[in-house]
Amino acid sequence: MGFVRPWHIAVLVVVLILLFGAKRLPDAARSLGRSMRILKAETKGLAEDDVAGKAEAPSGRQPLEGQVTPPPPPVTDPVERVRDK
């Protein structure tokens, strides 16, 4: 079931020619190739950005100078909230 035989490829080519026409297939293949190159470059760029971001990230979060950080929200026990209702 998972094997691709030569006649499968031949049938696929015939169907593609019937659907799109022989004149449009080279353009479609060229566009697909460009799209694949762009996708590959973007995914490679994202992976490099991720690695660079992790290397540059400080170990702890520090507020910028002059900024005031808001206090964390109070922690409530979920059991107490149920009892109050």
- CB-CB contact of 69 with 63 (8 Å): yes
Domain count, the chain: 1
What is the token pair recorded at 33? 């190739």
Instruction: Quote the percentage of the chain above a pLDDT of 70.
Output: 68
Average pLDDT over residues 41-59: 76
Q: Is 47 among the domain residues? A: yes
Query: What beta strand segments (E) does 1-85 contain?
Result: none
Q: Is 10 among the domain residues? A: no
Q: Is 9 among the domain residues? A: no
Q: Is 64 among the domain residues? A: no
pLDDT of residue 60: 60
Residue 82's Cα: distance from chain center in Å? Answer: 41
Q: Is 6 among the domain residues? A: no
Mean pLDDT of the chain: 78
User: What pTM was estimated for this model as a whole?
Assistant: 0.43
Q: Is the pLDDT of residue 26 over 80?
A: yes
Angle between helices 25-56 and 6-20 (to 10 degrees): 110
Q: Is 62 among the domain residues? A: no
